[in-house]
Structure 1
């Protein structure tokens, strides 16, 4: 199969544990671009979390916010926000259970509480600034995704009580909240259709629980050697760790380097 486009998760895939890009990854992405293959970031992060990373890699296309906001070469391709009625139910339930929320808009993100330890720990792990505080942003702004801050033993009440929403854990104290049909695969599918590229002609790299659908959608799904063990059954191939040449080795396996 001749592949025409490659999608890359960020944390644990393009970025190592220190949230830096290994030099061999930078060189591999440059070589990929020089061969005419389009690299696209596919991440749960919002654009304001990864703009410097994209610029360093020379990437101007992305499927962000777990498929909710898609940009191709600087132009918006797709947007999907969480309906107000679902946000209202989420806010009510989280208040009842005592769990803080962070609302992610297209241009900024806002916590509904001041200085909560769970929010601080989870956001700090991304090595980005802490959110501004606006408890009512969900009423007035467009919300693409929400961080729900609770521990794993506290999350059981949410899926059953909010069937229109999907919950994906990314930190011991945080989960992504998106629409029930939302995923990176949704945004990738829209972008591939817009570009006239078949799913079989795409490659994707990931390491986390929110990469399952993406790896299944494309022609070649590659899991990093440092992947969450639950992701591995969804991959066609497992490359080495991000800090052991994982991107370069995976691209070589795909015949792209």
Structure 2
């Protein structure tokens, strides 16, 4: 029977039961796995502070690969690895995003050393209205997420002069994430950033977004750094996720488990498929790994 020493889970669409919380039932299985000698970790596109808040709510403390691999931190919050965009790269991304004739309905956030930042509050408000008007489950889920982000918790700083902020206040810039319900614009934006900005890695955690990091800032490298830190061979690592930004860690780990709600391209390279995120898919997969059902 194969013995795995590290189990790494994505957050959105994976361990988060309803996009905002980890189910208590899942947290209990994580604790059982840790007691059995399987170290647990998170690999997420979210920033470290937000990811840790979600874990704290259910009493979990673990290493976190945040910003899609831009930052890797141990259980105590010590930074093990960081890779960020240069000021020039960040400004070039902004240049593409600010072409109003093409991307007038796209809003974006920037993950920085100084915190989570957004620009053009008018686009955020317009996008919120569109999400609510769409009425489908994904749109309403995202509407609630952004309502809490901007109007309840106020986690995001709105700045007018984003270029000036990058030059003078941001410190390290780890990631951009752009959103739009117009999927064809997400595809066009992805291609344009790749064509115009050298040294960046573009991926997605959903059809309605794209994420931009420095080249090398991906979950595969993040998980590799984490395994090295704990002296664990990559063959002894299990990863679980649901979307394209999880592909790099599936390529390096000993075992890759896709959620039932996963992107078809991730399912195609997975070793197993578990239940959906709202059907305790992570907890069930972890049980199968612990018992040896999935060697």
TM normalised by structure 1 equals 0.90
Q: Over aligned residue pairs, what C-alpha RMSD do you find?
A: 2.2
* Alpha-carbon distance, 1:172 to partner: 4.6
Structure 1 residues 108-145: Cα deviation after superposition (integer angstroms, max 9, x where no partner): 21112123136656685366422211223322321110
Q: Which runs of 5+ in 1 are unaligned?
A: none
Map of 1:129 onto structure 2: 149
Aligned with residue 61 of structure 1, among 60, 63, 75? 63
Shift of 1:107: 5.2
- Aligned counterparts of 2:198 and 2:13: Cα–Cα separation in 1: 29
Which of these two proteins has the greater Rg computed from alpha carbons? 2
- Residue matched to 2:84: 81
| Match in the other structure for 2:246 | 211
Q: Which residue of 2 aligns with 1:39?
A: 40
Q: Counterpart in 1 of 2:256?
A: 221
119 and 191 in structure 1: CA distance in 2 versus 1, 3 angstrom threshold: farther
Q: Deviations over 1:157-186 (max 9, x none)?
A: 222222422222334543111123321111
Q: Determine the structure 2 residue equivalent to 1:198.
A: 233
Cα distance 1:119–1:181, how it changes in 2: closer, same or farther (>3 A)? farther
CA distance in 2 between partners of 1:34 and 1:232 (Å): 30
Q: Tell me if the contact between 1:45 and 1:64 (Cα under 8 Å) persists in the aligned partners.
A: yes
User: Would you say how many aligned residue pairs link Structure 1 and Structure 2?
Assistant: 257
Q: Which blocks of at least 5 consecutive residues in structure 2 are unaligned? A: 132-141, 151-155
Shift of 1:9: 0.6
User: Are 1:19 and 1:126, in contact at CA under 8 Å, matched by a contact in 2?
Assistant: no
Q: Deviations over 1:178-213 (max 9, x none)?
A: 123321111111111122110001111111111111
Q: Which moved more, 1:19-28 or 1:38-47?
A: 19-28
Per the alignment, residue 8 of structure 1 pairs with: 9
* Residue number in structure 2 paired with 1:30: 31
* Higher normalized helix content (fraction of residues): 2
Is it true that 1:116 corresponds to 2:157 in the alignment?
no
TM-score, normalization by structure 2 = 0.79
Q: Which residue of 145, 151, 169 maps to 2:175?
A: 145
